[in-house]
Chains A and B, each alone.
Chain A
Amino acid sequence: MKKTRSFFMVPYLVWIALFVIAPLILILYQSLTNNQGQFTLQNYVTYGTSWTYLKMTINSFWYALLITAVTLLISYPTAYFLSKTKRQQLWLLLIILPTWINLLLKAYAFIGLLSRSGTVNQFLTFIGVGPKQLLFTDFSFLLVASYIEIPFMILPIYNAIVQLDPALINASRDLGATNLQTFTKVVFPLTISGVKAGIQAVFIPSLSLFMITRLIGGNRVITLGTAIEEHFLTTMNWGMGSTIGVVLIVMMFIMMALTNDRKKKRQEVLPNEKSEG
Chain B
Amino acid sequence: MEKPIIELKQITKRYDDGFTALENINMTIEPGKFYSLLGPSGSGKTTILRIIAGFTDASEGEVWFEGKKINALPANQRKVNTVFQNYALFPHMDVFDNVAFGLTLKKMPKKEIRERVVNALKVVQLPGYANREISELSGGQQQRVAIARAIVNEPKVLLLDEPLSALDMKLRKDMQYELRELQQRLKITFIFVTHDQEEALAMSDEIFVMNDGKVLQSGTPVDIYDEPINHFVANFIGESNILPGKMVQDFEVQFVGKSFECADAGMRPNEKVEVVLRPEDLDITTPEQGKLVVKVDTQLFRGDHFEIVAYDDDENEWLIHSTNPVKDGKQIGLTFEPEDIHVMRFGEKETDFDARLEQYEEE
Instruction: List A residues at the B interface (Cβ < 8 Å).
Output: 165, 167-168, 170-178, 181, 185-186, 189-190, 267, 270-271, 274, 277
Contacts and interface: CB of A to CB of B under 8 A. Distances in A.
13 contacts: A165-B86, A168-B88, A171-B82, A171-B90, A172-B90, A174-B55, A174-B76, A174-B80, A175-B102, A176-B77, A177-B105, A190-B90, A274-B131
- Residue of B105, B106, B133 with most partner-chain A CB within 10 A: B105
B222 to A, nearest CB: 33
Contacts, number: 69
B74 A167 contact: no
Contacts of B82: 170-171, 174
A270 B101 contact: no
A186 B90 contact: yes
Contact of B76 (A177, A185, A186): A177
Contact of A174 (B81, B85, B110): B81
Contacts of B231: none
B102 A168 contact: no
- Residue of A170, A177, A190, A271 with most partner-chain B CB within 10 A: A170
Range for the number of chain B residues in contact with chain A: 20 to 34
B91 interface: yes
B48 to A, nearest CB: 15
Nearest to B55: A170
B114 A277 contact: yes
Shortest Cβ-Cβ A-B pairs, 6 listed: A175-B102, A167-B88, A171-B88, A173-B75, A271-B131, A174-B82
Interface string B82-104: 10111011111010100001100
Interface of B: 53-55, 74-77, 80-82, 84-86, 88-92, 94, 96, 101-102, 105-106, 110-111, 114, 130-131, 133, 149-150, 153
Main secondary structure of the interface of B (DSSP, over half): mixed
B96 A274 contact: yes
A270 B94 contact: yes
Given A175-B81, A176-B77, A270-B131, 7 more contacts: A167-B86, A168-B90, A171-B89, A174-B150, A175-B150, A176-B106, A190-B92
Contacts of A174: 53, 55, 75-76, 80-82, 150
B94 A170 contact: no
Contacts of A267: 133
Contacts of B153: 175-176
Nearest to A175: B102
Nearest to A272: B131
B256 to A, nearest CB: 50
B92 to A, nearest CB: 5
A172 B101 contact: yes
Given A165-B86, A167-B86, A168-B88, A173 B74 contact: yes
Contacts of B111: 277
- Residue of B85, B86, B101 with most partner-chain A CB within 10 A: B101
Contact of B101 (A165, A175, A271, A274): A175
Contacts of A178: 76
Given A170-B55, A174-B53, A174-B75, A190 B91 contact: yes
Nearest to A165: B88
A170 B114 CA distance: 24
